[in-house]
Chain A
Amino acid sequence: MIPQEMYDILRAEFDDAVLGAQLEGVLDPELTVSPERVQDVARFLRDEQNLQFDTLMCLTGMDYTGGRLGVVYHLASIKWGHKIVLKTELTAEQPHCRSVESVWKTANWHEREAFDMFGIIFDGHPDLRRILNPYDWEGYPLRKDYRVPEFYNGMRVPY
């Protein structure tokens, strides 16, 4: 199925949740959805007969600077062989996004990583802890305005 058709189906199903689309002139066609509805959209994309996005290839946290964060979902279908990119945009003051862990189990660790690195809070995630950094780490390292802390647990970091 071509991305334009996917967009039309989604617009018909979730009028208010699909905020935009960029289908031409980019390497991977992308749809922007609202962070509160992303779980519903994801479930629909997985279960709809003609879409069947059964694989979440990748889930990425993003910092677009200026207090704008985002989550990028790369989806693929093993059955149909098509792909699509979902994007959500968040603010640094309200970094909340619905979790898609209940749709694709693989999102569990990816969302923990995005939380760990960007401080994005995934509502509905069963176990949102840091994953790569130590559990008592402070700050979100992949944010563009991150500064390396001078002290870690009272010890001076040597560089």
Chain B
Amino acid sequence: MEHAATQMSGYVSRPATIPGLGRQLREHEMVISMGPQHPSTHGVLRLELVVDGEVVVDVIPHLGYLHRCFEKHCEHMSNYQQVIPYADRMDYVAAMSNEFGYAVACEKLFKIEVPERVEYIRVIMAEFSRIVSHLIAIGTYGMDIGAFTPFLYCMRDREHVLDIFEQTCGARLLYNYMWVGGLSHDVPPDFADKVKAFCKYFRPNIKELNDLLSHNKIFIDRTANVGVLPPEVAINYACSGPVLRGSGVKWDLRKNDPYSVYDRFDFEIPVGTGKVGTVGDCWDRYMVRVREMEQSVNIIEQAIDQLPSGDVRAAVPKRIRPERGEVYVRTETPKGELGYYIVSDGTPSPYRVKVKSPCFVNLSALPAMSRGAMIADIVAILGSIDIVLGEVDR
């Protein structure tokens, strides 16, 4: 960066103001660049840390390294269905949840009713994708802090879920499975057995994970009382998902603004309690994810027991020509509240698709969480937000 270079060249030519900071550097401050190729930024994110010694005064994030013009692409699709593979590639570790939100939004706009079987399978898949996403978040978070072993345990369990996905739709990461008005395939015949076997296998592993990582003394020392996000600040930043719930706000769209068939299941919303530190610290956000996995297993077990038989596609014309109109639909993905704002002008292709990405919004609260922390804490705070740059940059 330009001002970093002038900074190096001596004290003569201080730049007027630093973009993003809004002022000059003070006497003892300096700027450290973290990323875009840094193992703990979880992708290509660049942070400029304004530091005074070891203490972080401010953080200036620079995004866009993975910008792929998702919204512009959508406007040039020849129909609404073609957007779904692009939606997969936003949050690529939980692609099912992205498709789910888009399909729900389109169906609301087109006024399509989908068969019950579709709704149940979608819920099962979305909860599986929550487990997968949280396993990655937890595993990599441990690795950021310095615990390598839990990562391997998490990856081992994730593999079982990916096998179920692969048997259902042939893909392990980017599925194109939930279509507008239905699913691309029905589930395989032994699906229910596989799902039940997984639930039985996975439940004890959460306890194992807790013993290994959650209640580990070193892990707690690194994460408790670090990056505290008070609830009113979290709401003002429109944080969502585990970041909001970690701050003690009991808000989950599956309960508070139910979509699909989530109102038929019995599950709890875990929130941060400040058990080992302050409410809203990194450990709380981490622990919300662990406890959400338990709840996801509960939902999956209930859904697989109630799974109705029937068709997996509604009667939808191949080329949908919706009426003029617009809709905003938000769904609860593993990262938080994913919103689709879709505007139709009456032609077969979307006029505008805007994605409100939970990672983008949660990341915008990073400077608020980081001020006054140590440089090493930035790694812990960033990991606890759980961003995927594919969704931040779209």
Please report A residues at the B interface, Cβ cutoff 8 Å.
26-28, 54-58, 60, 62, 72, 74, 78, 81, 85, 104-106, 108-109, 117, 126-127, 129-135, 141-142
Are A78 and B249 in contact (CB-based, < 8 A)?
yes
Are B19 and A129 in contact (CB-based, < 8 A)?
yes
Q: Please provide the chain B residues from 220 to 256 with a CB less than 8 Å away from any CB of chain A in the complex.
A: 233, 235-238, 249, 251, 256
Q: Max chain B CB contacts within 10 Å: which of A62, A72, A132?
A: A132
A74, A104, A130: the one within 8 Å of B328 (CB): A74
Are B236 and A106 in contact (CB-based, < 8 A)?
yes
**Docked complex Cα distance between A142 and B108 (Å):** 25
**Smallest beta-carbon distance B66→chain A, Å:** 9
**Docked complex Cα distance between A28 and B22 (Å):** 38
A residues within 8 A CB of B330?
Answer: 57
Are B328 and A132 in contact (CB-based, < 8 A)?
no
Are A78 and B63 in contact (CB-based, < 8 A)?
no
**Docked complex Cα distance between A132 and B257 (Å):** 30
**Docked complex Cα distance between A58 and B19 (Å):** 25
Are B238 and A104 in contact (CB-based, < 8 A)?
yes
A residues within 8 A CB of B67?
Answer: 132-133
Are A141 and B238 in contact (CB-based, < 8 A)?
no
Give a binary string over B290-323; 1 marks a CB under 8 Å from any A CB, 0 the rest.
0000000000000000000000000000000000
**Docked complex Cα distance between A54 and B356 (Å):** 17
B residues within 8 A CB of A81?
Answer: 256-257
**Smallest beta-carbon distance A81→chain B, Å:** 7
Are A74 and B393 in contact (CB-based, < 8 A)?
no
Are B364 and A108 in contact (CB-based, < 8 A)?
yes
B14 contacts the other chain (CB 8 A) = no
22 contacts between A and B (CB under 8 A): A27-B108, A27-B109, A27-B326, A28-B328, A54-B235, A57-B328, A57-B330, A58-B341, A62-B343, A74-B328, A81-B256, A105-B365, A127-B19, A129-B19, A129-B20, A131-B64, A132-B393, A132-B394, A133-B64, A133-B67, A135-B19, A141-B72
> Nearest CB to that of A104 among chain B residues?
B236
**Smallest beta-carbon distance B80→chain A, Å:** 15
A residues within 8 A CB of B20?
Answer: 127, 129
> Which 7 pairs from chain A and chain B are nearest by CB?
A106-B238, A58-B356, A132-B64, A109-B364, A60-B354, A132-B67, A27-B327
**Smallest beta-carbon distance A65→chain B, Å:** 9
B residues within 8 A CB of A74?
Answer: 328, 339, 341, 356
**Smallest beta-carbon distance A64→chain B, Å:** 9
Q: Please provide the chain B residues from 338 to 390 with a CB less than 8 Å away from any CB of chain A in the complex.
A: 339, 341, 343, 352, 354, 356, 360-361, 364-365, 368
B residues within 8 A CB of A134?
Answer: 64
> Nearest CB to that of A60 among chain B residues?
B354
